């Protein structure tokens, strides 16, 4: 694992010097700021039941669906397109170290983007003067959910980047998979034909994988180890698929 | 397996590689002793790049045995990768890094100690004449500079074996000269395997040449051996005036196998060009001159025309296309 940190440091550095990172960060903050402003406007006109933080984090899927593909689609696809994967893998570096290093860098950037939204809460606390608007529970729970679910989302992005040498294809597949697991679970949870007795195990599995339900639990302060395990095992699975994907492309090239 | 100096740098035996039914490399075997510079020649698609990729451990072989410095590439890929500096075809480089940053990153990956890395980078930049470009972005460099960055990168960790796939492609003659000197300066210290289309290049730098075609070795040896083995003849050209007379007969008696191949037209001074060819490689110039004078010919010029590696290459690849593939022999002709 000695090369993991070399690759991680290199990847983080390359992300930090790349203009596209800053463009993405500005776009992300603009959209999140816009959403936040809308929420505050609603709160100022009429009192609401839930804290603004839970409403704010409930649109987590918007940045996930658009930001995660943008952050990750480049990481392995670009190496293959340029052919630099060949120089990379002919050094004493394992495929695992390469994939983990790139995954780690993308995940750190994802966290950094979300961390920047804490500025919105700071501004609210500084100027609203109403302590009820700042409820630490949902804020901590929300960020925790972002951090844990981000593990899985970013690993899906890395996996799709391993599939194609074309960044656009990788990004589109990533968006599709993310939409499927975020909204597909919600849809499957609501369909009626799954309510049959014989399909009960499938129903149980579907409800176990409900990401929107996980979100509600986290913001309510319920941290269920089964949910943590869901994201961790999913992450490990997609990372193993990424490693196998990179190696399979070599074997059959 | 321990690393000992007696072990050859590269050992390939019965290597086969097939890509989805297409045989790219078909049962090739060769050995490269340490410190030798070996040239890999072959037309496009002959299997040069595939063989090199297998040697670096990047691609797995379908069958056969490959080892570098005594380490089997299939089982001890990590040890092999530590001992090989590799520059792939077309020299892929990241576009958005500075030259010195790139070399630093590669040095870390190749496990050069951090303390030595700075001075080592200065050394290779000096060696490849890249000092002026060290702070430039790689994506904005010209082709010649990029190529030299690739070469600098492959020698960075001072590996015992260097494999370069077409290192001089896209360079101007001046830069080719620099690269040639650079490769020659590695002779004795490192084993270098280079592939190239530029035949004089190979002839000047390499101790030994391997010619491969359609995945098979069609000829191997030093350039001189190859001339003898593949062409099996040398030619002389004389410019002489006077009747030919019994010259062909006399020549045949003094040097066996020497005969007149062609006769050119007579010019205004009465001289004509006569081409002679021999089967052997022995020097026959003096005998020819003496025979001509004794026959009463006036000789203006005598020259020995050396076949270039290009002739050898064309003859060797044509021979293999004619499907008279001979098994490669070790060394020269018996």
Interface pTM, i.e. ipTM: 0.85
User: Cα A70 to chain center, whole Å?
Assistant: 11
Residues of B in contact with A90 (CB under 8 A): 56-58, 81, 84, 86, 88
What CA–CA distance (Å, rounded) separates B295 from B260? 15
Confidence at residue B230, expressed as pLDDT on a 0 to 100 scale: 67
Predicted local confidence at residue A147, as pLDDT: 93
pLDDT on residue B4: 57
pLDDT at position A207: 81
Buried b (16+ CB within 10 A) or exposed e, B141-179: beebbbbbbbbbbbbbbbbbbbbbbbbbbebeeebbebb
How many CB pairs below 8 A link A and B?
Answer: 59
What CA–CA distance (Å, rounded) separates A201 from B22?
Answer: 48
Annotate chain A with three-state secondary structure.
CHHHHHHHHHHHHHHHHCHHHHHHHHHHHHHHHHHHHHHHHHHHHCCCCCCHHHHHHCCCHHHHHHHHHHHHHHHHHHHHHHCHHHHHHCCCCCHHHHHHHHHHHHHHHHHHHHHHCHHHHHHHHHHHCCHHHCCHHHHHHHHHHHHHHHHHHHHHHHHHHHHCCCHHHHHHHHHHHHHHHHHHHHHHHHCCHHHCHHHHHHHHHHHHCCHHHHHHHHHHCCCCHHHHHHHHHHHHHHHHHHHHHHHHHHHCC
How does residue B328 score in pLDDT terms, banded at 50, 70 and 90? very low
CA distance A5 to chain B (A): 10
Q: In B, what residues contact A, Cβ < 8 A?
A: 19-20, 53, 56-60, 78, 81-82, 84, 86-88, 90, 92-97, 105-106, 108-111, 153
pLDDT at A50 (0 to 100): 80
Q: What angle do CA B177, B181, B184 make, to 5 degrees?
A: 140
- Residue from the list A7, A14, A90 with its beta carbon closest to the beta carbon of B58: A90
> In this predicted model, which residue has the larger pLDDT, B318 or B68?
B68
Q: What's the confidence (pLDDT) of residue A108?
A: 95
Is A14's CB within 8 Å of B97's CB? yes
CB distance A89–B58 less than 8 Å?
yes
pLDDT computed for residue B321 by the predictor: 62
Q: Do B88 and A88 touch (CB under 8 A)?
A: no
Q: Which of B78, B94, B146, B162 is most worth mutating to test chain A (most A CB atoms within 10 A of its CB)? A: B94
Contact at 8 Å (CB) between B238 and B274?
Answer: yes
> By the CB < 8 Å criterion, does A18 face chain B?
yes
**Average pLDDT over chain B, rounded to an integer:** 82
Query: Between residues B295 and A25, which one has the greater pLDDT?
Result: A25
Confidence at residue A69, expressed as pLDDT on a 0 to 100 scale: 92
Q: Over 60: is that where the pLDDT of B1 sits? A: no
Interchain pair A83, B92: CB under 8 A: yes
Q: Spell out which residues of chain A touch residue B161, defining contact as CB-CB under 8 Å.
A: none
pLDDT value for A116? 92
Average pLDDT over residues B264-279: 80
Given a cut of 70, whether residue B232 has pLDDT beyond it is no
Using CA atoms, how far apart are residues B9 and B208, in angstroms rounded to an integer?
A: 14
E strand map for chain B: 10-19, 22-32, 37-41, 63-68, 71-72, 84-87, 161-165, 191-195, 208-213, 216-221, 234-241, 259-263, 271-278, 298-305
Enumerate residues 6+ apart whose C-beta is below 8 A from A13: none
Q: How confident is the model at residue B332 (pLDDT cuts 50, 70, 90)?
A: very low
Quote the minimal CA–CA distance from B274 to chain A in Å: 54
CB contact under 8 A, B105 and A17: no
pLDDT the model gives residue B276: 79
Residues A169, B81: Cα–Cα separation, whole Å? 32
Nearest to A86 among B78, B82, B92 (CB): B92
- Shortest CA gap A9–chain B (Å): 10
Q: In B, which residues are within 8 Å of A93 by CB distance?
A: 109
* Residue A191 at interface with chain B, using a CB cutoff of 8 Å: no
How far CA B266 is from CA of B241, B244, B250, B260, in Å, comes to 8, 12, 22, 16
pLDDT in tens, chain A (253 residues): 788 999 999 999 998 988 888 988 999 999 999 999 998 888 888 877 788 888 888 888 888 998 899 889 888 999 999 889 999 999 999 999 999 999 999 999 999 999 999 998 888 888 877 777 778 888 888 999 999 999 999 999 999 999 988 999 999 999 999 999 998 888 887 887 777 778 888 888 888 888 888 888 888 888 888 889 999 999 999 999 999 999 888 877 6
| B172: helix, strand or coil | coil
pLDDT, tens digit, 9 for 90 and up, residues B90-149: 889 998 899 999 999 999 999 999 899 999 999 999 888 888 988 999 999 988 888 889
| Distance to chain A for B173, nearest Cα, Å | 27
- pLDDT of B281 reads 65
Cβ neighbours of B71 in A, within 8 Å:
none
Nearest CA in chain A to B52: A90
**Which residues of chain A lie closer than 8 angstroms to B20, CB-CB?**
252
* Spatial separation of the C-alpha atoms in residues B153 and B167, rounded to whole Å: 12
Q: What is the DSSP string of B189-234?
A: TSEEEEE-S-HHHHHHH-SEEEEEETTEEEEEE-HHHHIIIII--E
State how far the Cα of A138 lies from the Cα of A196, in Å rounded to an integer: 36
| Nearest CB neighbour to B84, from listed A86, A90, A251 | A90
Domain residues of chain B, as ranges? 10-228, 231-305
Query: Domain spanning B10-228 has what CATH number?
Result: 3.40.50.300
Q: What pLDDT score was predicted for residue B101?
A: 92
The CATH class of the B231-305 domain is: alpha beta
Whether A19 has its CB under 8 Å from any CB of chain B: the answer is no
Helices (H), B57-142: 77-82, 99-109, 114-127
Alpha-carbon distance of B261 to B249, in angstroms, equals 13
Is the pLDDT at B327 greater than 50, yes or no? no
Q: Which residues, listed in sequence order, are joined to residue B275 by a DSSP beta bridge?
A: B237, B262
Residue B199 has pLDDT above 70, yes or no: yes
Residue with tokens 């302590």: A131
**Among A72, A64, A95, which Cα is nearest to A167's?**
A72
Chain B CB contacts of A83 below 8 Å:
88, 90, 92
Q: From A58, A74, A70, select the one nearest A28 (Cα to Cα).
A: A70
CB atoms within 10 A of CB B272: 17
How many angstroms separate the CA atoms of A50 and A142, rounded?
13
For residues B297-309, average pLDDT: 78
Distance between CA atoms of A15 and A10, rounded to whole angstroms? 9
Residue B254 or A105, more confident = A105
Considering only alpha carbons, which residue of chain A is nearest residue B79?
A: A92
**Cα separation, B47 vs A168, whole angstroms:** 32
Whole-number pLDDT of residue B334: 38
For position B107, what pLDDT does the model report? 93
Sequence-distant (6+) residues with CB within 8 A of B212 are B28, B40, B41, B42, B46, B47, B48, B51, B218
Which run of H or of E encompasses B56?
helix B48-56
Q: Which of B92, B97, B110 sits opposite A91 (nearest CB)?
A: B110
Task: Say if the Cβ atoms of B105 and A90 lie within 8 Å.
Answer: no
Stretch B202-209: mean pLDDT: 84
Cβ distance of A82 and B95 shorter than 8 Å? yes
Chain A residues closer than 8 Å to B87 by CB: 87
pLDDT at A112: 94
pLDDT value of position B280: 67
Residue of B nearest to A252 (CA): B19
């Amino acid at each position: 694992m000695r090369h993991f940190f070399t690759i991680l440091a290199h990847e983080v550095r390359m992300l930090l010097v790349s203009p596209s990172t800053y463009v993405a960060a500005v776009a992300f903050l603009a959209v999140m700021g816009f959403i936040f402003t809308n929420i505050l406007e609603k709160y100022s006109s009429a009192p609401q039941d839930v804290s603004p933080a839970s409403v704010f984090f409930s649109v987590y899927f918007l940045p996930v669906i658009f930001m995660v593909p943008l952050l990750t689609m480049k990481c392995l696809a670009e190496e293959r397109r340029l052919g630099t994967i060949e120089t990379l893998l002919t050094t004493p570096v394992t495929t695992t170290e390469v994939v983990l290093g790139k995954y780690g860098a993308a995940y750190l950037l994802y966290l950094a983007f979300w961390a920047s939204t804490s500025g919105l809460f700071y501004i609210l606390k500084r100027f609203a003067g109403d302590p009820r608007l700042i409820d630490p529970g949902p804020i901590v729970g929300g960020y925790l959910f972002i951090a844990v679910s981000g593990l899985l989302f970013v690993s899906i992005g890395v996996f799709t980047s391993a599939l194609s040498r074309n960044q656009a294809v990788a990004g589109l597949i990533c968006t599709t998979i993310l939409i499927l697991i975020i909204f597909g679970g919600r849809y499957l949870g609501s369909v009626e034909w799954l309510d049959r007795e014989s399909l009960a195990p499938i129903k149980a599995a579907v409800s176990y994988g409900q990401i929107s339900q996980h979100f509600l639990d986290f913001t309510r302060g319920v941290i269920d180890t089964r949910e943590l395990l869901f994201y961790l095992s999913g992450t490990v699975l997609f990372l193993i698929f990424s490693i196998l994907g990179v190696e399979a492309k070599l074997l059959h090239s | 397996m321990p690393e000992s100096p007696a072990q050859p740098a590269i050992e390939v035996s019965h290597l086969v590689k097939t890509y989805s039914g297409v045989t790219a490399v078909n049962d090739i075997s060769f050995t490269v002793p340490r410190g030798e510079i070996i040239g890999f020649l072959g037309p496009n698609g002959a299997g040069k790049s595939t063989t090199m990729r297998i040697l670096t451990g990047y691609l797995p072989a379908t069958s056969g045995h490959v080892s570098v410095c005594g380490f089997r590439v299939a089982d001890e890929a990590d040890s092999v990768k530590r001992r090989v500096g590799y520059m792939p075809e077309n020299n892929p480089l990241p576009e958005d890094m500075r030259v010195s940053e790139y070399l630093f990153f590669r040095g870390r990956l190749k496990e050069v100690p951090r303390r030595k890395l700075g001075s080592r980078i200065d050394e290779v930049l000096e060696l490849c004449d890249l000092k002026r470009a060290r702070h430039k972005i790689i994506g904005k460099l010209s082709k010649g500079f990029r190529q030299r960055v690739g070469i600098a990168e492959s020698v960075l960790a001072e590996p015992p074996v260097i494999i370069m796939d077409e290192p001089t492609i896209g360079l101007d003659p001046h830069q080719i000269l620099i690269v040639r000197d650079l490769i020659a300066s590695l002779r004795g210290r490192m084993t270098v395997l280079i592939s190239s289309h530029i035949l004089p290049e190979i002839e000047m730098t390499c101790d030994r040449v391997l010619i491969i075609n359609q995945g098979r070795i069609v000829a191997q040896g030093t350039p001189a051996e190859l001339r003898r083995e593949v062409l099996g003849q040398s030619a002389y050209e004389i410019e002489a005036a006077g009747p030919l007379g019994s010259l062909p007969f006399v020549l045949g008696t003094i040097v066996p196998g020497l005969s007149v191949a062609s006769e050119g037209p007579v010019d205004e001074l009465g001289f004509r060009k006569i081409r002679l060819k021999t089967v052997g490689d022995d020097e026959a110039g003096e005998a020819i001159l003496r025979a001509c004078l004794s026959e009463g010919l006036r000789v203006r010029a005598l020259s020995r025309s050396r076949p270039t590696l290009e002739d050898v290459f064309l003859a060797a690849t044509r021979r293999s296309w004619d499907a008279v593939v001979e098994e490669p022999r070790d060394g020269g002709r018996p």
